[in-house]
Amino acid sequence: MTRRTALYEEHLALKGRMVDFAGWELPVMYSSIIDEHTATRTKAGLFDVSHMGEVIIRGAASNSHEDEQALPGDIDVQLPVPRRRRRGR
């Protein structure tokens, strides 16, 4: 089954040409290579990296804040609602 990132709908709205990339449906191109190269060199480029890593936390640390020591940001912001609720938020 092909997985989709949180930006999938945005990629479609921007007319991204979607392909299967290691089990993820990701855009390979939006317009042309030359247009995209020029835009990146003169403006900015963005690469959706949300498919590149996944962390599964199990055991006693899964309900504590110990797991946050391994990440640079606030893990509660990045987790699904059920986990946040378990922590009383």
* pLDDT tens per residue, range 28-65: 999 999 999 999 999 998 888 878 876 676 766 666 66
Residue 66 lies in a domain: yes
Residue 12 lies in a domain: yes
Angle made by CA atoms 70, 55, 1, in degrees to the nearest 5: 165
Overall domain count for the chain: 1
Note the pLDDT of residue 83: 46
Note the pLDDT of residue 77: 58
Residue 62 lies in a domain: yes
Percent of the chain scored above 70 by pLDDT?
62
How far apart, in whole angstroms, are the C-alpha atoms of residue 1 and residue 18?
15
Residue 2 lies in a domain: no
Residue 85 lies in a domain: no
Amino acid at 15: K
Q: Residue 53 belongs to what domain range?
A: 8-72
Statement: residue 21 has pLDDT above 80 = yes
Note the pLDDT of residue 76: 60
Note the pLDDT of residue 87: 44
